[in-house]
Structure 1
Amino acid sequence: MYKVLIVDDEPMIREGLRTIVDWGAEGFEIVDTASNGKEGLEKFGQIAPDLTIVDIRMPGMTGLDLIEKVRQDNSLAHFLILSGYAEFDYAKRAIVSGVSGYLLKPVDEEELLDELRRVREQLQREQEARSVRSEHDAALPKAQLVEELLFEEVSADDDHRGKLVEALALSAPAYRIVLLDAYGGSEMESRQHAVFRQRLKETFEEPGGGILFSAGSHIGLLLVRQSHVECGDSLRSHLSDAAGELEFHAACGSVVDNLIDIGASFREAEYLLHSRFFFESGSVIDRSAYDTVFTVSEASEALAENEDGPQLGDKLYYALDIRSREAVEKVLRELEQAALSRRMDEAAVRSEYSRTLSLAIGKLSSGESSAAELAQSYHSLLLSDINQAQNYDVLKKQMHSRLGELIDQFGGANKDTVLKQMIDFIRRNYSENLKLEVLAEMFGYNSGYLGKLFKNYTGEYFNAFVDKIRVEKAKELLTQGLKVHQVAARVGYSNADYFHSKFRKYVGTSPSAYRSEAHDERRGGGS
């Protein structure tokens, strides 16, 4: 049984979690509970739970504070975040802290079961990895020699490395390292791993002179025969036959002609395997396959590196707010280009998507409308999709599907024309850094052409229209007695002097004078 610690300041939640699911049937046992973060931290040190379910908001030490303190000494601990609030800043911190999942109160039984089963699979894989490492002492002598050649700190001792190569007694025209990451979803995974390793030995080691070895949580293969050094369909077929029901990714390092240089092949295989999230299960990744996936145009790279333009989270918010599927698709393509141009690994991809979605949904959720409530309800679904996607293609499809579904729930476009949509958008988002170029991109128009359409429709240039909307709102706020600098910030002007000049231009007096006149009128009206 895997040990579970529950940390929540609400007694009803702590007791309710005990009965909501059959923990034993899922392979878990609740061994203790804690009523606050400090107590939870103490009990974590005492019982070393396999999984900690922790409330994100507690007085004193929050759940995220607890996680960050645990992470200082234990980077492998598993957490499920539990919250009664769809708070996006907290959610982003949780993603950075590497939590296993995020659940909203009241906890849904099926969602909890899904998270528990996913965590159980992670724990089983880690247990198998530890088991593989524990087999080191019982490994074949040649496997030990390869591991020492690759992992021992002997780089400065060429004589020792030479002796290791001599002891391996291999003679081949070429050598290559292949690294494998194998995983499965059943409780028989440990046995499946053992069968997989045995089949690999039968295929590559016993008849071919290859050597099977352990490389942390990965399985390593030193290929020494010319027929097995090629990283192509034949190798993929052999690995698939050996894997059986297990899913796997493999990465091929470069070919070297001297065994003493095999470390270079290993390092390249390790580097390539980090990109496995972008490949389907059963893929064999070599440099050519890697370059094909991560080849992006110079324009895409420039777009991904442009820090002066609107952030993707803001763009996605605009696209969702105007109910435009086309605009959402465009932002998702930009997000993909950013991931590829920066050659992100799995963790970075999940974090970037979580950050972007949280920013967009957070802005959509800031109001009091039914659309805001609907957007808020989708946040945990989107984060769950991102965390659970098996590979990048699945993640992309889930994002396209889920965001399209959200737009459908909004009711599609809520104005008859693009120009009416623009005006409605400006009136609701006047305090944002609105730019015609960004809105034109969202609506799929050339900015110059859209600017002319806007001028003909409203009689005002875009920037002048935005200024007038802001000034009208500023007049309302000044009448309420707010200070000039407060009003400037609320209506979208970061520079109070610039706000002052715009206000005088359209009203004919200064903001402070207008506020004083409004104050005098209220006093006069009340006398």
Structure 2
Amino acid sequence: MFKVLIVDDEPMIREGLRTIVDWASEGFEIVDTASNGKEGLEKFGRLAPDLTIVDIRMPGMSGLDLIEKVRQDNSEAHFLILSGYAEFDYAKRAIVSGVSGYLLKPVDEEELIDELRRVREMLERERTARSARMEQDAALPKAQLVEELLFEDEPLEETQRARLAEALGVAAPAYRIALLDVHAGAEAESRQLAALRQRLKEMFEEKGDAIMFSAGPHIGLLLVRQSYVERGEALRSALLEAAGGLAFHAARGPAVPELAAVALSFREAEGLLHARFFFESGEIIERESYEERFAGTREPAAGEGDSEEGPPLGDKLYYALDIRSRDAADKVLAELDRQVLLRRMDESAARSEYSRALSLAVGKLSSGEASAAELSRKFQSLLLSDVNHSQTYGELKQRVRSRLGELIDRFGGANKDTVLKQMIDFIRRNYSENLKLEVLAEMFGYNSGYLGKLFKNYTGEYFNAFVDKVRVEKAKELLAQGLKVHQVAARVGYSNADYFHAKFRKYVGTSPSAFRSEASGDQQGGEH
């Protein structure tokens, strides 16, 4: 028997259709009725009738609206339209919606029987064709059926997904997709992957625990065994055993109750696998572990981070390297790590962020004395190689930290002089930088107020005054060489020439231009 649903807002019509013909003799059974389009749509989804007889005009959702809603997911449903109106516009819209027939009220018994017999013939032909497709599908490899379920160019309709799921012939309370990204060496990749696929087939597919399939560059598993569906650790243990020491990452999408919905699990697993760089080899990435890894982070608001307080991280790292402090370098790396996670950068952006900071820091070191410059350039190349060739984010952080420690050691390690002596040396080397007591205090691990008092007691000068005096002394040298005032101001760290002029007069007692004229023997004075 084919199932029939009747949808009409008139009770007499609904009851009349029940009795006007002998439905059973025509091969049909009325499974329910509905009094409006919304109710009809709900019952259609629940009952999946083979034929729906629907009134074309109803309050709220019309019959044609109902049909168009159903057609979004089901192109094979059959409808007979009932109407007391013979307007051609309605008929045209019904034909576009793919209805099987169009009947005018009051319904004629013979006309209805003719329509039912015509629809029954179509349904029987479709049933025969469906059975043939099922037999054909059953002969296909299960991997191919899974791939059809997941990768069709056009989205599959509900009935098509159900057909493929049935052809797979596996039954379980829930299903889940796992994807593997394997890291094999270029030369041995083909042989290693072939061996891994064989082990996965033996451990998963031959035992009926999963169906293995191809997903682009990844190996896919449709998980059926419930211990693998429910417990990530059980799956991880099995995958580690199958990998036999081969490095891999895996992602597991959410569990779904029906095979027809397994594409949802696949899409999430695919998205999670994009974050594999931030997970260690052999980890199973899931929605929960992803959120935990980036816990407390968020996307920055528009414009946020464009103008950070203090110097860029590359400058901070340079300061740490210049004072030969491992602790200070570790603090900057921790801040860099926080920024990467805060912004939820992808692999490419994270590598770029580290490359930018390291290039700036080590590049500044290389502008010093010849021996230091040569060593810095060598380590800059090594550091960028570490950033670009690390397999995971954890490996990248470890290699960079270790390499910077090695660089500090090659420079002679931490200076045994006092912190204050180191500060003075640092200022004399970096007078042209935007030096701030707060930044140096952070580098040396002191409270800025306390360090400022120590500095004043040691040098007799406040920090800013000491920096100004060092800059002015260097400015006197450059002016004596004949450089113009604005050039000297920029070279010694003053972006504002008027501010430089005021500072120079304060400490020297004359203007920069006058000093330059006197030092160079130019009696005309002024800039040229």
Deviation at 1:445, TM superposition (A): 0.3
Structure number, greater radius of gyration:
2
The residue type paired with residue 435 of structure 2 is L
CA contact (8 A) 2:272 2:287 kept: yes
Q: Deviations over 1:411-454 (max 9, x none)?
A: 12346111111111111101111111110000000111111111
The residue type paired with residue 400 of structure 2 is M
Distance verdict in 2 for CA 1:373–1:426, change over 3 Å: same
Distance 1:400 1:152 in 2: 46
Distance 1:233 1:191 in 2: 28
Deviation at 1:510, TM superposition (A): 2.7
The residue type paired with residue 517 of structure 2 is S
> What pairs with 1:99-110 in structure 2 (closer than 5 Å)?
none
In structure 2, runs of 5+ residues without a counterpart are 1-138
Deviation at 1:209, TM superposition (A): 5.8
The residue type paired with residue 250 of structure 2 is A
Residue 219 of structure 1 aligns to a residue whose secondary structure is strand
Distance 1:427 1:185 in 2: 50
> What pairs with 1:226-305 in structure 2 (closer than 5 Å)?
226-296=226-296
Distance 2:372 2:318 in 1: 13
2:436 is aligned with 1:435: yes
Q: Deviations over 1:339-379 (max 9, x none)?
A: 32233333333322222211111000012332222222212
Query: Which residue in 2 is equivalent to 1:335?
Result: 336
**Number of corresponding residues:** 385
Deviation at 1:152, TM superposition (A): 2.9
Deviation at 1:497, TM superposition (A): 2.3
The residue type paired with residue 150 of structure 2 is L
Query: Which residue in 1 is equivalent to 2:469?
Result: 468
> What pairs with 1:497-516 in structure 2 (closer than 5 Å)?
497-516=498-517
Distance 1:140 1:204 in 2: 19
Distance 1:297 1:305 in 2: 18
Query: Which residue in 2 is equivalent to 1:192?
Result: 192
Distance 1:497 1:345 in 2: 45
Distance 2:376 2:517 in 1: 41
Query: Which residue in 2 is equivalent to 1:492?
Result: 493
CA contact (8 A) 2:479 2:488 kept: yes
> What pairs with 1:171-186 in structure 2 (closer than 5 Å)?
171-185=171-185
Distance verdict in 2 for CA 1:194–1:145, change over 3 Å: same
Deviation at 1:199, TM superposition (A): 2.5
Distance 2:524 2:201 in 1: 92
Distance 1:290 1:487 in 2: 53
CA contact (8 A) 2:297 2:341 kept: no
CA contact (8 A) 1:252 1:284 kept: yes
Deviation at 1:484, TM superposition (A): 1.9
Q: Deviations over 1:233-285 (max 9, x none)?
A: 22112212222242221111111223343333222212222232333322222
Distance 2:310 2:156 in 1: 48
Q: Deviations over 1:129-169 (max 9, x none)?
A: xxxxxxxxxx9543233323333332385555455445445
Distance verdict in 2 for CA 1:466–1:493, change over 3 Å: same
CA contact (8 A) 1:176 1:223 kept: yes
Deviation at 1:333, TM superposition (A): 1.6
Identity among equivalent positions (%) equals: 72
> What pairs with 1:54-93 in structure 2 (closer than 5 Å)?
none
Distance 1:401 1:141 in 2: 50
**Backbone CA RMSD of aligned residues:** 3.0
Distance 1:485 1:196 in 2: 68
Residue 489 of structure 1 aligns to a residue whose secondary structure is helix
Query: Which residue in 2 is equivalent to 1:208?
Result: 208
Distance verdict in 2 for CA 1:486–1:249, change over 3 Å: same
Query: Which residue in 2 is equivalent to 1:315?
Result: 316
The residue type paired with residue 378 of structure 1 is F
In structure 1, runs of 5+ residues without a counterpart are 1-138
The residue type paired with residue 256 of structure 1 is V
The residue type paired with residue 147 of structure 2 is E
Distance 1:452 1:345 in 2: 44
Q: Deviations over 1:86-109 (max 9, x none)?
A: xxxxxxxxxxxxxxxxxxxxxxxx
Query: Which residue in 2 is equivalent to 1:396?
Result: 397
Query: Which residue in 1 is equivalent to 2:449?
Result: 448
Distance 1:260 1:508 in 2: 86
Residue 449 of structure 2 aligns to a residue whose secondary structure is helix
> What pairs with 1:13-162 in structure 2 (closer than 5 Å)?
141-155=141-155, 160-162=160-162
Q: Deviations over 1:108-131 (max 9, x none)?
A: xxxxxxxxxxxxxxxxxxxxxxxx
The residue type paired with residue 266 of structure 1 is F
Query: Which residue in 1 is equivalent to 2:423?
Result: 422
Which structure ranks higher in relative contact order (CA pairs < 8 Å, sequence separation ≥ 6)? 1
TM value normalised by structure 1: 0.67
TM value normalised by structure 2: 0.66
Query: Which residue in 1 is equivalent to 2:379?
Result: 378
Distance verdict in 2 for CA 1:514–1:415, change over 3 Å: farther
2:406 is aligned with 1:405: yes
Distance 2:158 2:505 in 1: 79
Deviation at 1:179, TM superposition (A): 0.5
The residue type paired with residue 150 of structure 1 is L
Q: Deviations over 1:198-242 (max 9, x none)?
A: 332333333326321111110111113423312422211221222
Distance 1:499 1:157 in 2: 74
Distance 1:309 1:160 in 2: 60
Q: Deviations over 1:299-320 (max 9, x none)?
A: x99x988723321111111001
Distance verdict in 2 for CA 1:153–1:504, change over 3 Å: farther
Query: Which residue in 2 is equivalent to 1:223?
Result: 223
Query: Which residue in 2 is equivalent to 1:368?
Result: 369
